[in-house]
Amino acid sequence: MKKCPECNHELKRVKNEALQTKYKTSNGCKDILVENLSYSKCDYCNAIFYNPDDIDNYEIQLEKALEKERRNENLLTAKEIKAIRKKYNLTQLQLELLLKIGPKNVAKWETYKSNQSRTIDKLLRNMNDDYCFFLKMLNNVEVKDFSNIINEHSFYLDNISILELISKFYPDVNIKNVSKDFISYVRQVIESLLETTIVEKNSELVLKEAV
Ligand SMILES: [Zn+2]
């Protein structure tokens, strides 16, 4: 049995215990209940000791507690935000520019140092669920900050209106998986039916008289 370094009494192992802890955020400290903790405790002086495995477990359980808190507030978790960002290959700075917010915010949401607002949360969800919505956001950024991303989506950026039409007429179709050929085909069909050329202007569909 190990002895307490503080008072030399015997330490007792504690498992699956919940502890109220102070967690530092950008808006000060908050109390958070971390569950399923393991540690050694001295019943005489009440000191608590974590071995390296206990510390690893503490990190995992703390993240779970923070995740649970976000879910209870109906906000995306850190992992979910990161997954949306990674899905579109965005850096933290690019996501901030896309959302038109100040620097370092995304890093804070992704490490639970602060929570995203409800408005931002909604934008992130729309961006995740609706590819056209993401493309429209991309249409409103400085090209120099997004050259790699714009390059990756250039064909779709040039066809936002067609993509929107497809998503309206075929709501079950996942427009991210629509082939370029199909988009070109739909464009041709519409253009021949209307006897016009379709041009995209600020993601609005503009009909140009055919020459
Ligand atoms: Zn002690």
Interval 37-48: pLDDT, tens? 999 999 999 999
Checking if the pLDDT of 5 tops 70, the result is yes
- Maximal CA-CA distance, the chain: 94
The two tokens of residue 193 are 């039916």
Q: Which of 79-83, 94-98, 155-159 has the lowest mean pLDDT?
A: 155-159
CA of 38 to the centre of ligand 1 (A): 17
CA of 5 to the centre of ligand 1 (A): 7
Report pLDDT for 202.
66
| Strands 48-49, 28-42: pairing kind | antiparallel
The two tokens of residue 57 are 């477990």
CA of 46 to the centre of ligand 1 (A): 6
CA separation, residue 173 to residues 169, 176, 178, 181 (Å): 9, 9, 8, 15
Q: Which of 43-57, 68-82, 84-98, 155-169 has the lowest mean pLDDT?
A: 155-169
Q: What is the pTM of this model?
A: 0.85
Checking if the pLDDT of 170 tops 70, the result is yes
**Going by C-beta distance under 8 Å and a sequence separation of 6 or more, which residues neighbour residue 169?**
none
CA of 12 to the centre of ligand 1 (A): 10
CA separation, residue 77 to residues 84, 111, 148 (Å): 11, 10, 27
CA separation, residue 16 to residues 68, 90, 142, 147 (Å): 17, 39, 51, 50
What are the boundaries of each domain within the chain?
11-72, 76-129, 142-211
Report pLDDT for 209.
60
CA of 117 to the centre of ligand 1 (A): 44
CA of 3 to the centre of ligand 1 (A): 8
Report pLDDT for 122.
98
Report pLDDT for 203.
62
Interval 6-17: pLDDT, tens? 999 999 999 999
Report pLDDT for 176.
77
CA of 48 to the centre of ligand 1 (A): 8
Tell me the CA end-to-end span of the chain in Å, nearest whole number.
Answer: 91
pLDDT bracket for residue 115 (50, 70, 90): very high
Interval 63-88: pLDDT, tens? 999 999 999 999 999 999 999 999 99
CA of 8 to the centre of ligand 1 (A): 6
To the question of domain 76-129 being in CATH 1.10.260, the answer is yes
Checking if the pLDDT of 110 tops 80, the result is yes
CA of 55 to the centre of ligand 1 (A): 20
Nearest in space to 121 (alpha carbons), one of 105, 142, 140, 132: 105
CA separation, residue 26 to residues 22, 30, 82, 95, 115 (Å): 13, 10, 19, 20, 9
CA of 29 to the centre of ligand 1 (A): 28
